[in-house]
Amino acid sequence: QREVDSDPGLRVLVLTGAGRAFCAGLDLDLAATLPGMNPSDLLTGQESWARAIAGFRHMDKPVIAAVNGAAAGAGMALALAADIRIASPDARFNAAFIRIGLTGGDVGTSWLLPRIVGFGRAMEILMTGRFVDAEEALRIGMVTEIAKEGSLLDRAIETAGLICRNSPFGVRMTKQVLQMNVDAPSLDAAIALENRNQVLAFQTDDMREAFDAFREKRDPRFSGR
């Protein structure tokens, strides 16, 4: 997280799988050895995975998950932690934990999924451990689109390019305000945070550059200041 946020040349992070799957989650051979492990060591491992997942939520930079193939178990949590999810036609998601004797909630899934698809759908998906294919994922809002065959990474990069047309500060504050206000206690509290962010944005060089570019009929050249 720190490495990504400290790199001013990196505007958007795109995640995708290197092979046929986005992320297949826990290795089942390894899982078979876990019951014999010391509880303290198990907790350390769980916390390490959880920090990795939470890190994508905490990043200042937007994260796009280009989901190719299976996103199972912790792999589904990784996809859910992204800010935007784009699926390949063969993408599929499942909370595999419950299928191997564990609980359906793991490394953030029980917090992330209901905020994306709603409580009732999340309950059914986590209780059954069934797969959600790309078409269903699109229908219930788990992904924003299904890319054409062979064009998944291109679509993710194209979406990243659209984000990069906007000022770094504006994008950062937009991610922050959405993540905080989804759990805001009231409309007034949400608006108060929006007001604060807008006042800060008004003071940036990039805001003035955007107005200059509009008047001069050219694309803005944002500096991140």
Domain residue spans of the chain: 2-162, 167-215
Dig out the tokens for 26 from the structure.
């826990």
- One-letter amino acid at 170 equals G
Is the confidence at residue 152, as pLDDT, over 70?
A: yes
Is 210 in contact with 220 (CB distance < 8 Å)? Answer: yes
What value does the CA radius of gyration of the chain take, rounded to a whole number of Å? Answer: 19
Give the CB-side neighbour count of residue 104, counting CA atoms within 13 A: 18
**Mean pLDDT along residues 10-37:** 76
Is the confidence at residue 27, as pLDDT, over 70?
A: no
Average pLDDT taken over every residue of the chain: 89
| CATH class, range 167-215 | mainly alpha
pLDDT of residue 139: 98
**Mean pLDDT along residues 96-101:** 83
* CATH for 2-162 (3.90.226.10, 3.30.450.20, 2.60.120.260, 3.40.225.10): 3.90.226.10
User: Can you tell me the distance from the alpha carbon of 95 to that of 128, in angstroms, rounded to the nearest whole number?
Assistant: 8
Q: Is the dihedral of CA 135, 24, 84, 116 positive or negative?
A: positive
Dig out the tokens for 117 from the structure.
């698809």
Closest of 178, 170, 174, 193 to residue 115, by C-alpha = 178
pLDDT of residue 28: 54
Is the confidence at residue 17, as pLDDT, over 70?
A: yes
Burial of 161 by CB count in 10 Å (0-12 exposed, 13-18 middle, 19+ buried)? exposed
Residue 111 pLDDT class (50, 70, 90 cuts): very high
Residue 115 pLDDT class (50, 70, 90 cuts): very high
**Mean pLDDT along residues 142-162:** 96
Least confident piece of the model among 36-50, 106-120, 127-141, 166-180: 36-50
pLDDT of residue 36: 65
User: Can you tell me the distance from the alpha carbon of 2 to that of 68, in angstroms, rounded to the nearest whole number?
Assistant: 26
pLDDT of residue 32: 55
Is the confidence at residue 29, as pLDDT, over 60?
A: no
User: Can you tell me the distance from the alpha carbon of 179 to that of 69, in angstroms, rounded to the nearest whole number?
Assistant: 27
**Mean pLDDT along residues 138-167:** 96
Is the confidence at residue 81, as pLDDT, over 70?
A: yes
For 87-90, the CB contacts below 8 A with 24+ separation are 87/134, 87/137, 87/138, 87/143, 87/145, 87/146, 87/147, 87/152, 88/134, 88/146, 88/147, 88/149, 88/152, 89/134, 89/146, 89/147, 89/148, 89/149, 90/134
User: Can you tell me the distance from the alpha carbon of 14 to that of 216, in angstroms, rounded to the nearest whole number?
Assistant: 33
